[in-house]
Amino acid sequence: MEGKVKGSGAGSEIAYGFPGLEVLEKNIPRLQQIASALFISLLLFSAGCTAPAVPPREFDCAAFRPTDPKKVKVKVSLNNQMLYVMEGNRPLMVTPTCVGKKATPTPKGSFSIFLKQAKRRANTRGFWVHEARKEIRLGRNTGRPSGGGWRFLGYPMGHWCEFAPAYGIHAGWVHPTPSTRGCLRIHRNVAPKFFALVSVGTKVHIADSQVEDLTLGQGVLRPTDFNHPEFPPEIMFTDKIFERATSSPLLEEASVEEKSA
């Protein structure tokens, strides 16, 4: 049987899932190309063959162990799309983030992290997979395709740190322009470090700008892999998607300023 890649339901539903969950309808042609690549990988995976090589995800940034974890706070600059993890005036991690679109903005204000979940998947948007028919459909969990044999798998949102109901800081594609539905995405290699730095109760302050924008937030390299193909099924559909692609230390002992001194 010829394999198929379809969207489930209306075109707006097709637009969810690749890359980074919040894809606009104008990107549907690329979405279908990515889904087709995932389907080919699914065929190889189910046949026991080696899937095509995954493009390298080498972006990383340093993260430094706090002296007093209770003093850790998170500051987010929406205009600069930067996230700063601070211990007082001591920077522990500085990393680019992708913020909410104009229509679905990231909330501003002071919050506290109240839920951490390392292996989080979206509850509503993701994939309908039919292994026997070698078919993948993109859409919502309420749009089960007809017939049996389908299973729903939510899009990965690894190392989820929820700071407001339905809003979290999590691993995902970090686009150069606001692209999310309100969450804050950080690179998948950086997310486990952030997860290790913060605790339930850690304060999060989100504003248009932060004073750190003028110093720590200048000249920071941003990820360039946001348009890379998605991961093959043996990664995307398993817990491997929540693993880092680099072997750098999770937390280092010196601070950003101490290391550069």
Which domain CATH number covers 93? 2.40.440.10
From CA 141, how far away is CA 126, in angstroms rounded?
7
How confident is the model over 42-72, as pLDDT tens digits?
A: 443 443 434 333 444 578 999 999 999 999 9
| Residue 70 shares a structural domain with residue 125 | no
Residue 58: strand, helix, or coil: coil
Give the count of domains, the chain. Answer: 2
**β-pairing verdict for 203-207 and 109-112:** antiparallel
Give the other-Cβ count within 10 Å of 25's Cβ: 12
**Statement: residue 212 has pLDDT above 90:** yes
Task: Give residue 21's pLDDT.
Answer: 34
Given a contact cutoff of 8 angstroms between Cβ atoms, the answer to whether 38 and 6 are in contact is no
Burial of 253 (0-12, 13-18, 19+ CB in 10 A): exposed
> In this structure, are 180 and 106 located in the same domain?
yes
Is 80 exceeded by the pLDDT of residue 114? yes
Indicate the residue among 135, 155, 175 that finishes a domain.
155
Report the distance separating Cα 101 and Cα 21, nearest Å. Answer: 13
* Domain span including residue 131: 1-52+121-155
Domain boundary among 155, 178, 212: 155
Domain membership of residue 199 (yes or no) is yes
Structure pTM? 0.77
Residue 5 has pLDDT above 90, yes or no: no
**Are 74 and 113 within one domain?**
yes
Q: Are 146 and 199 part of one and the same domain?
A: no
Rounded Cα distance between 9 and 162, Å, is 29
pLDDT for 176 equals 95
Q: Give the phi and the psi of residue 38 in degrees, each rounded to 5.
A: -65, -40
100 and 162 part of one domain: yes
Task: Express as a percent the part of the chain with pLDDT over 70.
Answer: 75
Q: What is the pLDDT of residue 103?
A: 97
For residue 71, the 8-state DSSP code is G
Structural domain contains residue 141: yes
